[in-house]
Amino acid sequence: MPVVILAVAAGVAWWGSQSERRRSGEIQQRVRDICTAIASGKDVKGTINAGNSFVEGQVIEAIKRAFPSPELASSMEIAVKPGDVSGIRAPRGDATHSVLLSQDGMDVLGLRVRYRAEGRPIEIIGFWIPNPQ
């Protein structure tokens, strides 16, 4: 019986890690698409945070400042981490993932992301400027 319990626990842990890996990959691709679209001058209003146009506008401006060209946006490094970010002035716990965008090894922008379900749009609910390294 203990062997069965261990096997089931291992299966659940493996399935959970695979699910999180898929979520992180989907978030990474969507963030890259959004940043590239913004850097290319495309209108993305209503697709980042449809519920809060003020936050959406602030996020768009932050991405424009961090990645002023499509080349920079397409070459950025993206690190996705489950859970909300801590240590910034923002309501904690609303984001399902935190995303750190880097260029040439320097962290340039952090995004607080809400992931709802596979295939549904992500929602960027905030951002932060990382401390210089």
Give per-residue pLDDT as tens, 54-103.
999 999 999 999 999 999 998 999 999 998 876 666 555 689 999 999 99
Give 113's DSSP letter.
E
Task: Domain of residue 59: give its range.
Answer: 2-128
Q: How many domains does the chain have?
A: 1
User: CB under 8 Å to 93, separation ≥6 — which residues?
Assistant: 84
Angle between helices 2-39 and 53-66 (to 10 degrees): 80
Question: Is residue 133 assigned to a domain?
Answer: no
User: CB under 8 Å to 132, separation ≥6 — which residues?
Assistant: 106
Which amino acid, 125? I
Lowest-pLDDT range of 4-8, 63-67, 104-108: 4-8
pTM across the whole model: 0.79
Using CA atoms, how far apart are residues 16 and 101, in angstroms rounded to an integer?
25
Residue 82 has a pLDDT of 93
Question: Is residue 70 assigned to a domain?
Answer: yes
User: CB under 8 Å to 80, separation ≥6 — which residues?
Assistant: 24, 27, 28, 31, 97, 98, 99, 113
Question: Is residue 56 assigned to a domain?
Answer: yes
Residue 13 has a pLDDT of 47
Report whether pLDDT(133) > 70.
Answer: no
Instruction: Quick: pLDDT tens for 19-55.
Output: 778 899 999 999 999 999 999 999 998 888 888 899 9
